[in-house]
Structure 1
Amino acid sequence: MNVLFVCSRNRLRSPTAENVFRDWPGVQVASAGLAPDADEILTAEDLDWADVVIAMEKKHKAEISRRFMPQLRDTRVVALGIRDDYGFMDPELIEILRAKVPPHLR
């Protein structure tokens, strides 16, 4: 399963999720951001690769759908509801991700 984590700038939440789930059995992970200044900007190719896209917030899910609808034919997009309140590898963020992400990896 190819899992793509998406947030705004790909600096804090989505790279943390990528690190946390990097060694999850049977899962390949990547991360990207939606903002023009994101460290890794989300592309159509990223979405073609992904089996599931896990957005950090509902607004990210909506933006992905708005900008990339043709690439989402067979791709599930979910939103976790994790606000931009955490630093990279913040222990509280890791705990939240470990609670919210695994149901989407089946």
Structure 2
Amino acid sequence: MHALFVCSRNRLRSPTAEAIFSSWPGIETASAGTAPDAEERVSSDHIRWADVIVVMERSHKARLAKQFGDSLKGKKIVCLDIPDKYAFMQPELIALLEQRAAPFLRT
């Protein structure tokens, strides 16, 4: 399974998710951001590669729909509703990610 994690700037939430789920068996991970100044900006290559797209906020899902429209057809998109208030690898963020994303990442 290819899991793409998306947040705004690809600096805190999505890289944390990419790191913690990368060791799960049967899962390959990547992360990207929707903002113009994201460390890694989400691209059509990311969308094609992903089996599941995990966004942190509803606004990320809306931006993906606006930018990639038809490319998202048939893609599983999950919104975790995790606000941008956590540091990279913060234990509370890890706990939220494991609780909310894990059910969608079972192979």
Superposition TM-score tier, normalisation by shorter sequence: over 0.9
| 2:15 counterpart of 1:19 | no
Distance 1:9 1:81 in 2: 16
Distance 1:96 1:78 in 2: 14
List runs of 5+ in structure 2 lacking aligned partners.
Answer: none
Partner of 2:32: 32
Superposed CA offset, 1:22-68 (max 9, x none) = 11111100000000100000001100000010000011111111111
CA contact (8 A) 1:51 1:74 kept: no
Q: 1:36-75 maps to which residues of 2 (within 5 A)?
A: 36-75=36-75
Q: How far is 1:73 from its partner?
A: 1.6
- Alignment length (residue pairs): 106
Partner of 2:98: 98
Partner of 1:79: 79
List runs of 5+ in structure 1 lacking aligned partners.
Answer: none
Q: What is the one-letter code of the residue matched to 2:80?
A: L
Q: How far is 1:74 from its partner?
A: 2.0
Identity of aligned residues (%): 52
SS at 1:70's partner residue?
Answer: helix
> Which is worse superposed, 62-71 or 83-92?
62-71
User: What is the TM-score of this pair, normalised by structure 2?
Assistant: 0.96
Q: What is the one-letter code of the residue matched to 2:35?
A: A
> Which is worse superposed, 90-99 or 66-75?
66-75
Partner of 1:3: 3
- Regions of 4+ moved over 3 Å: none
